[in-house]
Structure 1
Amino acid sequence: MATATLTAAAPYLIQQVYAAYTPEQHAVWAELVGRVLPNVERHAAREYLEGFQIIGLQPDRLPNLADITKRLGPRTGWSSTPVSGFLPAPAFFEMLANRLFPTTTWLRSRESLEYTPEPDIFHDVFGHVPMHAHRVFGDFLEHYGRVCAAVQDQMILEKLGRLFWYTVEFGLIRQDGEIKAYGSGVISSAGECQNVINGGCAIHDFSLDEVLNTPVKVDELQKVLFAVNSFDQIYEAMHEAEQRVERGSL
């Protein structure tokens, strides 16, 4: 859907000026990728690794969002759409509902390699966007945005936010007898990835009820995460969550 149809998100849309990135910024991107790529190659879900190739990510060059969108569009209809920064919830949900992933264009400095308090292009693109090449995951994410965009009750939105947190941000999947990561928070953070690999958090089978009732911790390594057996599970969970919202029983 054309960005001209957006209302809540329109003030936050910008252009990525790719030529403005400096050699130092490309070098920082390369260092960030180099720090996590060995873990990612061993422990990421195969759908993430396939998506990484599909969208054409380069280990030594910052991503060009227009080029990524050209690759994603014919496959799943998703666009990596540049935005000015953190979005208020209505704008964020509106963009997801239109298959426009809000993507920041700034990159953390060399002094902040380990952690940045708000998402940057490394978290957004390296962490999130490869999964947008997967049809079922892409359908889930659009559906999530559509459902949340229609909700006004903040308590309901908080619960739905837990579903996002434990899938899109910190989702795990069982593949070939192993735990693999697909959530951006695990993919893009060496610390969170090692926390999972080394048994620092409990891994529960994915359960919509448990996910909705597990509060989110944003300021510490995760202590419990949830593993699905297939991405159909989160797609079906989103439909169940929508039905509960409609029944007033979430």
Structure 2
Amino acid sequence: MQPVITSLPTAEPYLIEQDWSKYTPDQHATWAELVSRRMPQLAEHACEEYLDGFEQIGLRQDTIPNLAEVNRRLGPRTRWNATPVSGFLPPDAFFEMLAARQFPTTTWLRSRESLEYTPEPDIFHDVFGHVPMHAHPVFADFLQQYGRVCAALIHDKDKLERMGRLFWFTVEFGVIRQHGRIRIYGSGLISSHGESNYVIQGGPEIRDFNLDQVLDQQFLVSEMQKVLYAVESFEQIYEAAHEAEKRLL
């Protein structure tokens, strides 16, 4: 396990406190509706590690997560923290936080009118979609390694763009083969009923994970993904992040 960086000089201006007491009953009800819409499908189609992580970090269906409580359970397992931030971070601050095992987490929640999709990440996407996977030791080490490599590449736009594809096809739109089936683990799939349905119904081409192909695979954020890359284990992406470091640094 890589050593954890405690200083966040670039990200520090974006760090905030979550005032959990300020969430309204309607917001908690919106969270409950979002979770209840996703869990039946995820119980069948999410990877085992996501479902286990959901339980380990104590997420609940009826209330918006209190990040301090989440971190009390997550930290001892993998030394990761869901760290509240004010919104979008510049790339250097984002990678600095990942390298420090601090996941930038927004604290606002989408409105009831935007249950299916919001263009900006909210606490549902960030915590429900991402954080359960941070309880898995190998995935946790992969994500830190990814942040370290990208932080070192921050001034090389072309190489950073290639690393962004590794993030997209794992952290955001990752799928894994388990028990002879395709299961989802990427947050963009976990948190979106429409995106998940598209995968479950056989929409995208599912290729075996190949680092060279992933680094070269272009994608559009604005449409359903035509190609996804299935791993056999999370050790595969951990090794891929180290191989990317050798190739790009």
Common fold: TM-score over 0.5: yes
SS at match of 1:101: strand
| Match in the other structure for 1:237 | 240
Which of 30, 33, 36 pairs up with 1:34?
A: 36
TM-score under structure 2 length normalisation: 0.97
**How big is each residue's C-alpha offset from its partner over 1:27-78, in whole Å with a ceiling of 9 and x where there is no partner?**
1001111111111110000000000000000011000101111111111000
Which of 164, 168, 175 pairs up with 2:167?
A: 164
Which of 200, 203, 208 pairs up with 1:205?
A: 208
| Match in the other structure for 2:221 | 218
| Match in the other structure for 1:121 | 123
SS at match of 2:16: coil
1:142–1:2 Cα change, 3 Å:
closer
Distance in 2 (alpha carbons) for counterparts of 1:2 and 1:218: 31
SS at match of 2:84: strand
SS at match of 1:115: coil
Give structure 2 stretches of 5+ with no counterpart.
Answer: none
| Match in the other structure for 2:49 | 47
| Match in the other structure for 2:197 | 194
| Match in the other structure for 1:184 | 187
How does 1:105-120 map onto structure 2 within 5 Å? 105-120=107-122
Distance in 2 (alpha carbons) for counterparts of 1:221 and 1:114: 14
Letter in 1 for 2:171: V
Letter in 1 for 2:117: Y
Q: Does 1:135 find its partner at 2:137?
A: yes
Q: Please report how far the alpha carbon of residue 2 of structure 1 lies from its aligned counterpart in structure 2 after TM superposition.
A: 7.1
Q: Does 1:92 find its partner at 2:112?
A: no
Letter in 2 for 1:159: R
**How big is each residue's C-alpha offset from its partner over 1:107-151, in whole Å with a ceiling of 9 and x where there is no partner?**
000111111001000000000000000000000000000111111
Runs of 4+ in 1 over 2 A off after TM superposition: none
Give structure 1 stretches of 5+ with no counterpart.
Answer: none
Q: Does 1:153 find its partner at 2:164?
A: no
TM-score under structure 1 length normalisation: 0.97
| Match in the other structure for 1:12 | 14
1:2–1:224 Cα change, 3 Å:
closer
Q: Please report how far the alpha carbon of residue 216 of structure 1 lies from its aligned counterpart in structure 2 after TM superposition.
A: 2.2
Q: How many residues align?
A: 245
| Match in the other structure for 1:67 | 69
